[in-house]
Amino acid sequence: MKQAYNFNAGPCVLPREAVEATIEAIREFDNTGIGLLEISHRTPGWEKVMSETRALWRELLHISPEYEILFLGGGASTQFFTVPANLMKKKAAYLQTGVWAKKAAKEANLFGEVKIVASSEDKTYSYIPKNYSIPMDADYFHITTNNTIYGTEIRRDIDCPVTLVADMSSDILSRPVNVSKYGLIYAGAQKNVGPAGVTVVIVRKDLLGNIGFRQYMNPLPTFVDYRTHAIAEEKNISMFNTPPVFAIYVMYQTLKWVKSKGGVPAMEELARKRSEMLYNEIDRNSLFVGTAAKEDRSVMNHCWVMAPGKEALQDEFMAFAKERGMVGIKGHRSVGGFRASLYNACPIEAVEALVACMQEFEKLHK
Ligand SMILES: *Cc1c(COP(=O)(O)O)cnc(C)c1O
């Protein structure tokens, strides 16, 4: 296979072990003589994958039985409307730290009053706003813990006076999280936990089924109501309808891989190492500058541009890096420059290769 270092922002690099195990299961699933994609999702073997995948989530993030864990089709974007549909009685507060956060707030507007408590749009979302106040009458406060496009991150569990809801699509399982501080966490799988097609939703049970007056005016469609999926689990029927079996299976294998590597604390340690290595080079190298505020830098997505006066070298560096096997380092069009996404499955050798490439390029242009 061609040597490539994959820095794509999502979909992105997966553990090789998870990919290989999935290929095997597609050929033949669980000694049945039938492939994973061809078998009924009501077979005991598949039920077992569902329950083991849930158990792995519980184990890896220490999720208490007060929370339901749902695997829903559609991306994180589907949760932008499903969250307010289920949790909003009248009003919700949002922290606008990027376009994903903005899109989430836009959907919430369909269900009630939305208060944007702060936004960093003024500086292309290059920092996380501080010193905002959360209205006490909000049904929940929504944050995006990692801003994939801009490389900023809220890398701690904040204190919140109302129910805290977090889009953790691009940093879940990269650090231990105190789940009990959140009412709901959701994450599209295709950054840290699998391929596109499934979103994990971790929701505190007591929050469900209480949408106030809306219950009478606009009852929820069955599928949109989280309880449809939660209650199915309680009755020991782990699926309301056909789940995205392929995406869930890769997630299952990815969680097994995380566990075998030492769990979430080990992922955190690796993330710190990879990230430090790259930021050190961005800060040291005279040709480049980072774009995100240092105190808010993400350990998942790293954004940088050419240093002032060196802008003309941008295309040349892109070609130079490409020749050396770097894939997916073009920055998002709204930020420009470069972005390297270093998710859980990104090997340290990939970062070493990128850093070496940046150093070599600097030597050529000193
Ligand atoms: C990628 C991403 C999304 C969108 O996910 P889809 O699964 O494509 O809908 C939402 N939020 C964050 C933080 C993301 O990184």
What are 25-83's pLDDT values in tens digits? Answer: 999 999 999 999 999 999 999 999 999 999 999 999 999 999 999 999 999 999 999 99
CA–CA distance, 203 with 165 (Å, rounded to integer): 9
For ligand 1, atom 3, which residue shows the shortest CA distance?
76
Which of 8, 78, 100 best tests ligand 1's pocket when mutated (most atoms within 8 Å of CB)?
A: 100
Work out the angle at residue 78's Cα, subtended by the Cα atoms of residues 74 and 81, and round it to the nearest 5 degrees: 160
CA–CA distance, 43 with 314 (Å, rounded to integer): 54
The pLDDT of residue 360 is 98
292 Cβ contact partners less than 8 Å away, ≥ 6 residues apart = 126, 127, 150, 151, 152, 298, 303
CA–CA distance, 297 with 126 (Å, rounded to integer): 9
282 Cβ contact partners less than 8 Å away, ≥ 6 residues apart = 288, 289, 290, 302, 304, 358
Cβ–ligand 1 contact at 170 (below 6 Å):
yes
Contact between 152 and 95 (Cβ < 8 Å) = no
The pLDDT of residue 236 is 67
For ligand 1, atom 13, which residue shows the shortest CA distance?
169
32 Cβ contact partners less than 8 Å away, ≥ 6 residues apart = 39, 43, 45
Measured in Å, residue 47 CA sits from the centre of ligand 1 at 27
Residue 137 has phi, psi (to 5 degrees) of -95, 10
Residue type present at position 222: T
Strand partners, 348: none
**pLDDT tens-digit series, residues 250-277:** 999 999 999 999 999 999 999 999 999 9
Gyration radius of the chain's alpha carbons: 21
State the closest ligand 1 atom to the C-alpha of 98, by its place in the atom list counted from 1.
13
Residue-wise DSSP of 1-34: ----EE--SSS----HHHHHHHHHHHH-STTSSS
Neighbour count for residue 80 (Cβ, 10 Å) = 22
CA–CA distance, 320 with 288 (Å, rounded to integer): 15
Residue type present at position 294: K
Work out the angle at residue 44's Cα, subtended by the Cα atoms of residues 40 and 50, and round it to the nearest 5 degrees: 85
For ligand 1, atom 14, which residue shows the shortest CA distance?
169
Measured in Å, residue 45 CA sits from the centre of ligand 1 at 30
Q: How confident is the model at residue 355 (pLDDT cuts 50, 70, 90)?
A: very high
Measured in Å, residue 188 CA sits from the centre of ligand 1 at 6
With a pLDDT cut of 70, the percent of the chain lying above it is 99
Cβ–ligand 1 contact at 76 (below 6 Å):
yes
Catalytic residues: 100, 167, 191
Tell the burial category of 319 from Cβ atoms under 10 Å away from its Cβ (0-12, 13-18, 19+): exposed
What is the mean pLDDT of the segment spanning 95-104?
A: 98
Measured in Å, residue 79 CA sits from the centre of ligand 1 at 10
With a pLDDT cut of 90, the percent of the chain lying above it is 93
Closest CA to 34 of 45, 26, 42: 26
The pLDDT of residue 168 is 98
* Chain center to CA of 168: 5
Query: Which 3 state secondary structure label does DSSP give 113?
Result: strand
The pLDDT of residue 215 is 86
**pLDDT tens-digit series, residues 335-344:** 999 999 999 9
With a threshold of 0.85, does the pTM exceed it? yes
For ligand 1, atom 2, which residue shows the shortest CA distance?
169
What is the mean pLDDT of the segment spanning 223-236?
A: 84
SS (H, E, C) 267-321: HHHHHHHHHHHHHHHHHHCCCEEECCCHHHECCCEEEEEECCCCHHHHHHHHHHH
Cβ–ligand 1 contact at 75 (below 6 Å):
yes
Work out the angle at residue 271's Cα, subtended by the Cα atoms of residues 98 and 144, and round it to the nearest 5 degrees: 20
Cβ–ligand 1 contact at 148 (below 6 Å):
yes
The pLDDT of residue 232 is 74
Cβ–ligand 1 contact at 298 (below 6 Å):
no
Measured in Å, residue 201 CA sits from the centre of ligand 1 at 13
Cβ–ligand 1 contact at 77 (below 6 Å):
yes
Cβ–ligand 1 contact at 100 (below 6 Å):
yes
Measured in Å, residue 32 CA sits from the centre of ligand 1 at 35
Sheet architecture: strand order including 288-290 = 288-290, 301-306, 338-341
CA–CA distance, 142 with 160 (Å, rounded to integer): 10
